[in-house]
Structure 1
Amino acid sequence: MDREYAKTMVDHLYDEGDRDIIFFGFIIGVVSFDREDAPYEKSEADRFNHALRLANFLLSDGDFSPGKSIRQENGNFRKTLYEGGFEEFRQDLENLFGGGGIDNIDLLAGPWLVKNNIGKSAPSLSDSICELFG
C-alpha cells in the first residue's frame, strides 16, 4: 500500500473533475499502475473491482455523480446521468465487463463520473482505499 501515492492520485481525480468528466477507463488506469507506470500485479477482475471501489468512494459523499455517453444513430454522443445512482452504474459496468472484458471500449469510454462540487478537495482516505494502490 502506498498511502502517499493514493492521496496524490485521488487529489488528481478531484482536480480533473473540476475541469472535465472522468471516464471509467481512466479510473481503471489509476488503480492499475504505480507511480513509475509499472503495472500492479492484478488480474483483470481485480483491476475492474478496484476501479469500481474507487468510483464508489468518489460517489459516496455526493462529490461526483455517475453518467454515461450514449452513441446516437447519427454518430454523435448524448450524455446522461444514471437515474439509479451507483447501483445502476455498477450493474451497467458489470454487464459491460462481462460482455467484453477490461478492454471493452464501451466500458472504458462510455461510463463516467462528473464532479458536482467544483473546487472541493478530496476527503481523507481510508486504509481500504489506499490498498487499491498496490
Structure 2
Amino acid sequence: MTPEEARERFAAARVARLATVSASGIPHLVPVTFAVRGDQVVFAVDHKPKSTTALRRLANIASNPAVCFLADGYAEDWSQLWWARADGTARVLPPGAEPVSWLVAKYSQYADRPPEHAVVVTDVHTWRGWTGS
C-alpha cells in the first residue's frame, strides 16, 4: 500500500487507536474519533463519558509528543484485511481550536455538541499500510 492509499484508508475509517508513551516509557493505547486534513490528524477530548478531562493521553503528549495512530478493517475473508498507520508529532491546542470543525464535519454526533475540551493536532511524518489483497 502506498503512503497515499494508507492516508485515504485511514481518513475514511470511523475510529483509530492512539498510542502514546509516558515520560517513564509506559505505553498507553486508546480508541479515538478523529479527522484528517492533508498530513494532519486531529482528535479532541469530547463529551463521551470520562472520569476526568485531564487524560493520560494529554499528559503523555506533553512529555513525549511522538504518537502513532492505527486504523484497520477486519473481515472473515482475510483477503479483505487492511491496516493504515500514521506516525507523527502531536501538540495540544486550547479548547475550541479551529480543527474542531474537522471533527464536526466527519461525525454527526458532534453537530449539536462539538468537543469543548482540549484539541490535539498531529503532524504526520509517515503513512504506512498493508492490505491482504
Question: Same fold, TM exceeding 0.5?
Answer: no
Give the structure with the larger helix fraction. 1
Give the structure with the larger strand fraction. 2
The answer to which structure, 1 or 2, has the higher relative contact order (CA under 8 A, 6+ apart) is 1
Please give the TM-score of this superposition, normalised by the length of structure 2: 0.29
